[in-house]
Amino acid sequence: MPHAHSALIRKNTQATLEEGTFMHNLPHLTPCELLEKKILLIRLSSLGDIVLTTPAIRAVRAHFPEAYIAMLVGKQSADVLRENPHLDEIITFDRFAKDKDTGEMLRAVRVLRERKFTLAIDLQRKFRTALLMYFSGATKRIGKGALCTVRVLERGNKHATAHYLDLLHAAGIPAADQSLELFLAESERRDASQRFDTAGVTQAGLKVGIFPGAGWKLREWMPERFAAIGNRLVEQFNAEVLIFGGQKESELVHTVVNLMDARAVPFAGNLQVRELAACIEKCDLFLTNDTGPMHIAAAVGTPTVSLFGPGNHIRFQPLGGLHQTIRHDVPCSPCKQFTDKCQDNICMKKITVDEVWHSISDTLSACRLKNT
């Protein structure tokens, strides 16, 4: 069995090199050394990006079923990994702590060194995560930069999950499945049903979730257009329209609700991330901007229609036949949407109500065919 295992590692490593992944110091990882006992994965931010690491987490567990696998993750986003059966431990790092570069770093390093990790993979590949990986004490470190024993450079514009899997390939871990996962407890599903009942949501009918926020204004479609879609959903499908948002998006959620002539149910600022995930799972469709809940919807198996403007759709759009992405080619997209220099947000304004409606209708029809 060990010989077969080693052959598989050698075969996968060769395939990775042929695909063009750029690696330094690969000889430091020999087949015998790759039979690890304690493995550390690192991704500190952000919510959606952490959901996108779940294919990598699953692949590491599949390859090392007996290993102790931990993930270092930002405290604010850690809940999306709770209940994940592929992880033995979730270690948190407070990215917003006042002492994040001193005391919080020292605390995290102390915890990591206590675990005595032998292999660490930096899925974020930033300076802070490289430091944390280096000071973890892991003898084999895969990521980007001089602090790694194996350096993997990103090649080409491809999906984020594929970039994460490239890092695994450098460790001889075979990985191809890019489907996302988020594990909910039955109690969380029951709580979501109770929440819908309390809000007067008819659970037997068509339920469409809408997420009009995005964290950055330049990623947000216009509220009146979301409202127009909501009206059509009620008029043509007699759908229950549920408008979701975080605490900072409460005003936006109620703006969309108030712009609608038909009834919509607001869920704004009163849901934690796992409660939101359980509610999204109960929806038949999720209309969303390019934001973390878009990835949550894909992870819980809810079909999506996603609206992309400044963001890189090739890297971040949900994958699979029941997910549709709407975007327009404009000279400045994708862009650094953190800037305030954009004056007209043309990439989002070009997305029309009619084209979104056609995508929604097509997706709902495809879902019906799948379920018949």
Q: Which of 10-14, 135-139, 199-203, 296-300 has the lowest mean pLDDT?
A: 10-14
pLDDT of 330 > 60? The answer is yes
Q: Is the previous residue joined to 46 through a cis bond, with omega within 30 degrees of 0?
A: yes
Paired sense of beta strands 140-143 and 119-122, if any? parallel
Average pLDDT over residues 296-312: 98
Q: What was the pLDDT predicted at 370?
A: 55
Domain that holds residue 307: 186-371
Average pLDDT, the chain: 90
- Listed in sequence order, the residues at least 6 apart from 339 whose beta carbon sits closer than 8 Å to its beta carbon are none
Each residue's pLDDT tens digit, 23-50: 334 434 444 444 568 999 999 999 999 9
The total domain count for the chain is 2
CATH at 365: 3.40.50.2000
Residue 366 has pLDDT above 90, yes or no: no
Look at residue 371 and tell me whether its pLDDT is greater than 70: no
Please give the pLDDT value at position 368. 73
Q: pLDDT band for position 235 (50/70/90)? A: very high
21 shares its domain with 155:
yes
Does residue 153 share a domain with residue 111?
A: yes
**Same-domain status, 22 and 162:** yes
Residue 47 in tokens: 């919510």
pLDDT band at residue 15 using 50, 70 and 90 as cut-offs: very low
Domain-terminating residue out of 169, 198, 215? 169
Residues 199 and 99 in one domain: no
In the listed set 108, 141, 169, which residue is the last one of a domain according to the structure?
A: 169
Residue bearing tokens 């675990």: 115
